[in-house]
Chain A
C-alpha cells in the first residue's frame, strides 16, 4: 500500500556514539596513566601508546576481514586497558602479540573469552616477564626494549605476595592504596582507580553493578570464610592493592565480555570477585584475577538469559522461557 518498503523508524537518534564512550573511559584512566609516569618514568607511557596503536591497527585488519564496521576507538581503549595489567618492565616485544590476541578475541569470539585475560594469560608462560616488578619512583628508560636480565638489582617482590602469617609486607595498606608500592602499570593506585570508577558511573558508561559486585564479593568471601586464622588485615590489603580494583573497574566491565542485563552484571561482578580472591588465596597473585575474569566471561551469555527480567505484566519469567532460548523445541 502506501507504506514504505523497509520500516525505518525511529527517525531520531541520540548523540551517543562510540567515540564519546571511549573518551569517557580515557578521561577516567588519565589519572592512572599520569601516576604511572610519575612512579615509573616514561616507559609506561611507551607501553600504553604502543599497545593502543597496535590494537587499532589490528582492529582495522580484522574489521576489513569480517566486513563489519571498524570500531577503532573501542580497540584503542582495549589496548590501553591491556597495557594496564602489565608490569612496567615488560619488554616491548610482548605488547603487539597481546594487542593482537585481545582484539582477535573480542572480534572473533564476540566476547565469550575476556579479551584482556585471553591476551595476558599466555604471556605468563614466557619466563618471569609478567611478574617482574621494580621499585616505585625508580625511573625506567623509555628506549630499552627488554629488561630481561637487567632488573635483578631493581627487582622487588610484590607486597601482596609477602602476606603470610610469618612475614609482614614492606609497605602498609595505606601506601598500597595510594600507589606508593610496586604494582602493574595501571594498578598502582587504587585511590585513583576508584575516582575514575566514580566518574564512569556518573557518566553512565559503566553500571555500578560490576565494580560494586566485584569488590563487595571479594570482601565478603574473605570475611565470611575467615581463611584459616590469618589476621583480618589480609582482606583489606588485598582489596587495597591495585590488581583487584583495576580488574573491577576496567577489566571485568569490558563491554564485550560482560553481561548486558543489570542483575546479570551483578552476578558477573560477584562471581569475578569471589573467584579472584579464591585464586589469590591459593597463590596466584597476578594471574588470579585474570583467570577469574576469563572464567566468568565464558558464562556471560548464559547469565544474561537466565537473569533477564520478567516480562512486563508477568509475575515471573517461567523456567521454560528462561531456558527456551537454548532448547527451542521445548516451548
Chain B
C-alpha cells in the first residue's frame, strides 16, 4: 500500500461530491418498466418482427453480429425502429412482467480447468459483454490477446466525482469480479492478474482486500487517484510503465485490461448463463433528491429512472450521461440505457460550461497535465482555423479527450470541443475518401 502506481500528468478532482450518498447506500435493484427500448450497435439487424414473443436473455440481434444484444425482459416486440439504410436503430419491447428466461440459456456446467480458451471466448461472445465506452467487445479483445498475453489487469478505479458504480460493485459484489478475473486468467493462461484500484475511498480498498484474501492468483495494486486513471492505456502505464501507442490496441501488445463490471458479467454468464442484460448506473448530482446506484435493465428509459428515484429538484440545469469529465449532455429523457452507460448526473447551474469568449494566457497548465504529452492549446488553435493537416501533425489521434486541459485552463479555453470538431472533420473526410474508392 505504500507504493502508489501512477502515470505522468493528470489531475486530482474534488471528491466531496462522492460523500453525498451514492457510495454510501447499497445498490437498489430497479424492476424493468413496462416498456423498454434496446439500442442496437451500428449496422445492426434483427430477424424478429413486431408481435414476436421474446424471453429474458434471448438474443434479438441476428446470429452473425459481432456484438450480440439480448432482451432484458420477456414480452412482445412493440416496434422496430430502422434508419434510412434499413439497419435497426432500436427495438421497443413491451414487458409482460413475467421475466421468463430463455430456454436455451444454461450455466456453464463443466469445471473451469476443463474449459478451453476458445470455448471461454465463445461463451463470452454469445453473452454480448461490452464495456463502457466504444471499442472492441470483450470477446474480441481476448481473442486478439490469446497466446500472447503478458499482463492481465482488472480496472477497479473510479476517479471522478459523483460516480459510485464501481465502488458499490466492489463493496457488494467483489467475489463476482474476482471469479470473473479467474475465468479470464484461465482463458489467457496467465499466472496472476493485477487488480488496480485507486485510493480515493478506503472502504473500497478494504472490501477488495477482504475478498481477495491470500489468493496467489490476484494481486492488488493501488493507484494514485488522478483523473484519467480509468483510461486503459494509462492503467497499463501506471502499473507496468509501458506506453501503448495509439495505433495499436492494448491487447495487441499483450497487456489486457478489463473493467470490473465486465468481469462480474463474465462470471454471471458462466454461473447463470445470463448474457449482459443489466447495468449498474449511478444516479447522482446535486439536483436529484436521493443519489444512489441502481441496477437497471438495459433499455430502461431515463424518464422511468427519474420516476423511480423520486424526481429531481427544481434547480435542475442539465442532465449528463456519463461522468463529469467525459459525459455528454442529454437533450431528451427518452434516451434508454445502453451497455456503455454508467451514470446519469442531474446538475444545477454550478456545473455550467461553455464560454464563447475565451483567451489563452499561455500559462502552460494544459501542457503540464496532459497525460498523452500533447500541446492541447496548439491543437485547439489549429482546429479553430480548420487546418486539419496541422492538427494531425501535432498528434490529433493521440488525444483521449480526458478533459484535463480544459479543467485546468484559467483562460477558459475549451480544448476538448475544438479537438473533437477536428476529429469529426477528419473522420468525415476519411469516410468520403473511402466511399470514393
Contact = CB atoms under 8 A, between A and B. Distances in A.
Contacts of B374: 311
B189 interface: no
B28 to A, nearest CB: 24
A18 B362 contact: no
Contacts of A13: 353, 406-407, 409, 412
B140 interface: no
A262 B416 contact: no
B377 interface: yes
A68 B408 contact: no
A68 B357 contact: yes
A8 B244 contact: no
B407 A8 contact: no
B417 A8 contact: yes
Interface stretch (A276-284, A286-294, A302-310): A302-310
A21 B416 CA distance: 23
B389 interface: yes
Interface size band for A: 35 or more
B417 A6 contact: yes
Interface stretch (A226-234, A238-246, A321-329): A321-329
Given A311-B395, A313-B248, 9 more contacts: A6-B417, A7-B420, A10-B353, A10-B406, A69-B412, A261-B364, A308-B375, A311-B372, A325-B394
Interface stretch (B116-124, B168-176, B259-267, B318-326): B318-326
Contacts of B161: 12
B327 interface: yes
B109 to A, nearest CB: 40
Interface in B52-86: none
A258 B362 contact: yes
Contacts of A256: 361-362
Given A10-B406, A312-B245, A265 B364 contact: yes
Contacts of A93: none
Contact of A8 (B353, B372, B398): B353
Interface of A: 1-14, 16-18, 20-21, 67-69, 71, 74, 111, 205, 207, 255-256, 258, 260-262, 265, 304-305, 308-314, 321, 324-325, 328-329, 331
B332 A328 contact: no
A255 B361 CA distance: 6
Given A11-B320, A74-B361, A312 B353 contact: no
Given A9-B328, A16-B409, A260 B364 contact: yes
Interface of B: 11, 13, 89, 161, 233, 237, 243-246, 248, 318, 320, 322, 324-332, 334-335, 345, 347, 351, 353-355, 357-359, 361-365, 367-368, 371-375, 377-378, 382, 387, 389-390, 392-395, 398, 401, 403, 406-412, 416-417, 420
A134 to B, nearest CB: 36
20 contacts: A4-B328, A4-B331, A6-B354, A7-B416, A8-B329, A9-B328, A11-B353, A14-B11, A16-B408, A21-B363, A69-B357, A255-B363, A262-B367, A304-B375, A304-B378, A305-B378, A312-B246, A325-B390, A325-B393, A328-B389
Nearest to B325: A10
B326 A69 contact: no
A4 B334 CA distance: 13
Nearest to A330: B393
B280 to A, nearest CB: 20
Contacts of B372: 311-312
What is the interface of chain B mostly: helix, strand, loop, or mixed? loop
B330 A2 contact: yes
B276 to A, nearest CB: 20
Contacts of B378: 260, 304-305, 325
A260 B367 contact: yes
A8 B245 contact: no
Given A17-B410, A310-B373, A2 B244 contact: no
Nearest to B408: A14
A2 B389 contact: no
Contacts of A313: 233, 243-246, 248, 398
A310 B378 CA distance: 15
B359 A21 contact: no
A311 B335 contact: no
A305 to B, nearest CB: 8
Contacts of A12: 13, 161, 324-325, 351, 403, 407
A111 B381 CA distance: 15
A261 B358 contact: no
Contact of B362 (A8, A260, A328): A260
A241 to B, nearest CB: 29
A10 B326 contact: yes
Which of B332, B362, B390 gathers the greatest number of chain A CB atoms within 10 Å? B362
Q: Which 8 A-B pairs have the closest CB atoms?
A: A313-B245, A10-B403, A324-B393, A328-B389, A4-B329, A10-B325, A309-B373, A2-B335
